[in-house]
Structure formats: C-alpha cells, structure tokens
Chain A
Amino acid sequence: MEPMEPLGREASEAIDAFRRARDPDAGAEHRIWGSIRTELQANEQLKQRRRHRKRRVRRVMRVLRPISVAVLLAVSVGLLLHQRHVRRERAMLDRARMQLAVGEHMAGYRTLVEHSREFQSREAAERRMGLVVDALCKMDMPLRANEELERYLELNPSTAYADWVGRPCGTPLGPRRTAESWSAPIEPRAGVSPLPLEYGDHHVSGSEIPD
C-alpha cells in the first residue's frame, strides 16, 4: 500500500473545511504576539522585583553577618568563662569536702569561707550550706550550725536544708530557744574554741583563722 496515498474525496473535503475553519483569523498573529509581549514584560518586571529583593536581603546580611559573628563570639567566650567558673567553684567545694572527710575540719571550714567570698550565686550557696553544717557539726558546734541554717532559711525560704533546722547534726538540739535567747551571744562550750569569723553569704568578718 502506498503510504502517502491521498484521502478519499469525502474525507478530503471534510479536512479542507476543517483546515479553513481552523486557520488563524487575520488578526490572530498580531493579537497573540501582543499578549505574549505583555506577559513577557510582566514576567521581566517580576524577575526584576525579585532581583531587587534579593539584593536588599544580601545588603542587610552583609551588615548583620559581622554583628552576628561578634555576638556569637561574645556568647561563646561568655560560656567558656562560665564553664571555667563553675569548674573552679566545684573544685573548691570538692576540696572542702575532702578536707572534712580526712579530718581537717578547720581547713575545710576555711575553704568554705573562701568559697563564699568568691562565689556569690544562690546555687553555690545551696551546695555550700550542706558542707558548712557538716563542718560545724564535726567541730562539735551544732548550735552554730543551727544558727547558720536559720539565717540561711531567712534569706532562702525555699532551701532544701529547711528540714535540717532544729537537728543540724542529725539529732534534735533539745528545747528550742526563745527569741530573746537567740539574740544573746553564743556561749562557747568547754574545750571548743569559738569560730573567729562570721560565716555567711553576705559578709565574712574576722581574719584570724586558727590552724
């Protein structure tokens, strides 16, 4: 069969009519090109707006980048310093704990006083308080330990050591003292020298610490 043989008469006429009907009208080319040009211009404007926006963002970023780097650097340095500070603080408390464990009570107490001078934060004070009470108890000064606890409780009402008040060294202190008696100076017990320094978060007075 000849592949390109012409269509039958009827089909050929139908195709001719179809072709005539489908031919673009006279103004079609001009009309469609006008629409294309309008759309392309609109697209171009859109692209330009996007380019401008990108440029603006880039300009802002150019300004912000050094600032953000500086802020990041400052924060990193701050974090490093804080970590160092925390490490030192923990090391000092560990030292005090070791001294108390090996029987060097006064040395441990002195370390705690030093700690209270250097580290004023509430978290540090909370951790320190347990060791201070331990040190005073080991130096056989339960009343003083209780006094420290009560004062600490006044400043930090939500402290975890609130339950220790009245029995700082594990045993009750006996009948609680009245308000008047609390204001009276503490009488040293026989054979135990009073501590020459005031221990606390706010002030440390006294300079003579016996060895």
Chain B
Amino acid sequence: MRKGQVLTTDYIVAVSIFILIMGFTMYTWGSTLYRARQDYLTLELMNTAKRSSDQLVRTQGRPIDWETNVSSLESLGLASSDRVISQAKFDELAGLDYGDLRRYVGVGGHHVYLKLSLGDDSLLGEAGAVPTGSIVVNSRRIVSVENNTGYLDVIVWNAPTGEVIPVVQ
C-alpha cells in the first residue's frame, strides 16, 4: 500500500513537471511563430513601401503625360522630374478607383494611403484608404511640389480579412 502511494506521488510530480515544460514550450513556440509571421509581413510591407515610393517620386509614369488621359495609364508615376511631384498627376491619381490605385501602386494584397503635403504639413491631397491595420509602414519622401518643398507619405498597411476599409473620397 505504502509502495503504491510513493509511486503515485512520484508519478504526479513527474507529470506536473512534464505538463509545465510542455505548456511553456508550446506557448514559446506559438509566440515565436506568431512573431516570425508578423516579422515577415512587416518586411513585405517595408519592401512594398520602399519600391512604391521610389516609383512614385522618381518616375513620370507611362505614358509620361498620363494625367491628360487616365484611361491610357500603363505605369504610375507622379514626378515631372526626379522628386518633383506634379499636382495634376496626384489629383488624377486621387480620382482613381481604389482597386485600380492599389494595382497601379503595386501593393498586392495590402492597402495603401497616399498623402501629399507642404513642409508646414498643410495638406495638398490624399488618396487611398486611411490606415486602420495593426502593421503600418510609412515611407515619407521629401519632394518639390508647386515650387515648394513638401512631403509625399506612402503608407502601406495590412488589414484583417473581412474588415471594412475606409477609402478616402
């Protein structure tokens, strides 16, 4: 009888230690996987923001006068020359359908919000969807616009599936 009780105590202690270690390992593994996924997503958003902002501030788009006939647009660019933003091009971009805007900016399955402002942060225009996601990456570029110095913010973000996206009109 006594021999059996010792074995049971021994067994309970061993199982408790096992469950404790197993639980801790599973928790750590789970949280590491979660962080790795978030990290991968962040990296993807960073690369998209870099690539898209470079394309917008350094290229004129194709054709170079696409703002005169938006239906001819093949490749999006907002510059009239390197880092000089054309307000007319930005205004036409802001009038694009949100799906088309995402496609032309090249953000894939992510969302995008673009903001053009002067050096004193007064707004010249905005387009896309206001960020509500958990991971938001902002590539702020310094540009010339309307003979002033200003900023083009290219904000790329992710949203959980099914969430309503507030698109700027």
User: A and B, one complex?
Assistant: no
